[in-house]
Structure 1
């Protein structure tokens, strides 16, 4: 039997009222004992219990905290001043961290999932409603990027207004930037027919952005993303001096249409609409390959 890894974990808690001191566990911070470089942080994606306790909770802010906290931990450890400032100053007392507890793990990744189930995720009845549509795509996408070890390196909930114009409400699920090796052209640049340069003839890289788009029923999300694609591409060129590879992650055709010819027509319309806007369409079946590409490009 393989030896287990001594670990230490902390629970991240949402505390809307410091006087009552009532809280809900919303995440886990985990590391191998004595090794801050192994620290990982993960927050829930089910904010229903938080909203029950505090209907005015800014869950978008809480979600964005995960990526920022992961960056600060990588740079200085979980007990570093930048990480503590994020908890103590940026969010005041609404998010607190418990005292550390010990655990013996088969692996850090497996222990993280176990701790999330035990302490954070709400209990489910045996018969639960199947997660479908965009939520299912987002969950699967995150899972594949986590398995590839790149999720913590990616930006999340990217505001389209950074690249389009103030007031644009669209938020994009995740993305990253990478610089191709000298002499290489990226597939994204070839797809849009251009390689951007900084004025010296040298490519400055590619920004890859992934957006979950469900084609099961309403196609509004596909049309919104298609409408935004041109402005996003121009904005990335202007702001980042890089090419944009915008990818829509969708369900496989058969998983939602079956023998329904009208549903199949709607699905193809959604795919073709996005492809006409130079959006790369990938299905859930392609995500393992996409995540592996991200792992290579981010040199993990």
Structure 2
């Protein structure tokens, strides 16, 4: 049996209302005792419990904090508590970190997964709450970019208004700039609603012009959609027609349309271009 190492962990909590003092554990920081440089961090990928206590929670902001914490920890092996103190102060204590608790671990990564299951992720039930199609696509996209080691290097929730005009509420999920081109990616579900496809098709020309004006770069916008296989198997002609319409609408505006099956290749390209 492998030797078990003394470790300590901290829970990251989301507290939307300080008066009620209701909270949800959203993440774990774990390190070997006395070795701050070994600290690893993981936030939840299932934000259902957060939405239950705060329907208006800014999930994109919470996801971005994970990247910020990881980057801060990487600087000179900083201690997790001071790092989280900065985060707490920045968000008026709506994010809090618990005191350290001890544990024994054969592997830091395996123990991190165990702590996530124990304290953060909701217990699996026979009837799982369904995520929307777009949520599933976004999760798949993030997972592949994380595996390639590039997620923390990418811009998130890119405001179209920076390139179009004030008041534009569209935000593109993520993107990066390898050289003279900016690659942006947005999750679009075509199974039940073609509206986002039309929004992107309507907006892309202005965004493209704005990127050239502001960044001095070309824009490559990619819509990531679900594969059409399930619709074919269900022989749902109406939804198949909607899927084809939405895909053709985006491609007619020079938006690249890929499916979740292509994400491994896309992430590997990002890894090479960002030299990870």
TM-score range, shorter chain: 0.7 to 0.9
Residue in 2 aligned with 1:288?
Answer: 264
Partner residue, 2:126? 126
Q: 2:223 aligns with which of 219, 241, 248?
A: 248
Give the Cα–Cα distance (whole angstroms) in 2 for the partners of residues 31 and 234 of structure 1: 47
Structure 1 residue corresponding to 2:207, chosen from 215, 221, 232: 232
Counterpart of 2:255 in structure 1 is: 279
Q: What is the Cα deviation at residue 66 of structure 1?
A: 2.5
Partners of 1:233 and 1:221 in 2: CA distance: 17
Count of residues paired in the alignment: 274
Equivalent-residue separation in structure 1 for 2:10 and 2:81 (angstroms) = 17
CA distance in 1, matches of 2:37, 2:212: 34
CA distance in structure 2 between the partners assigned to 1:4 and 1:288 by the alignment = 35
Alpha-carbon distance in 2 for matches of 1:31, 1:178: 33
Give me the whole-angstrom Cα distance separating, in 2, the residues matched to 1:159 and 1:32: 39
- Partner Cα distance (1:214, 1:10) in 2: 36
**Where does the alignment leave 5 or more consecutive residues of structure 2 unmatched?**
none
Aligned pairs for 1:70-219 (under 5 A) are 70-79=70-79, 83-84=83-84, 86-101=86-101, 102-106=103-107, 108=109, 110-179=110-179, 205-219=180-194
Which residue of structure 2 lines up, in the alignment, with residue 24 of structure 1? Answer: 24
Distance 1:283 1:105, change over 3 A: farther
- Distance in 1, matches of 2:117 and 2:197, equals 33
In structure 1, what is the equivalent of residue 68 of structure 2?
68
How far residue 34 of structure 1 moved from its aligned partner, in angstroms, is: 5.5
Q: Aligned equivalents of 1:256 and 1:105: distance in 2?
A: 45
Q: Is the 8 Å Cα contact of residues 64 and 157 (structure 1) preserved in structure 2?
A: no
- State the 1:293 CA deviation: 1.1
Residue 68 of structure 1 and its aligned partner are, at CA, apart by 2.9
TM-fit CA distance, 1:168: 1.1
Tell me the C-alpha RMSD between the 2 structures: 2.8
Aligned-pair distance for 1:292?
1.0
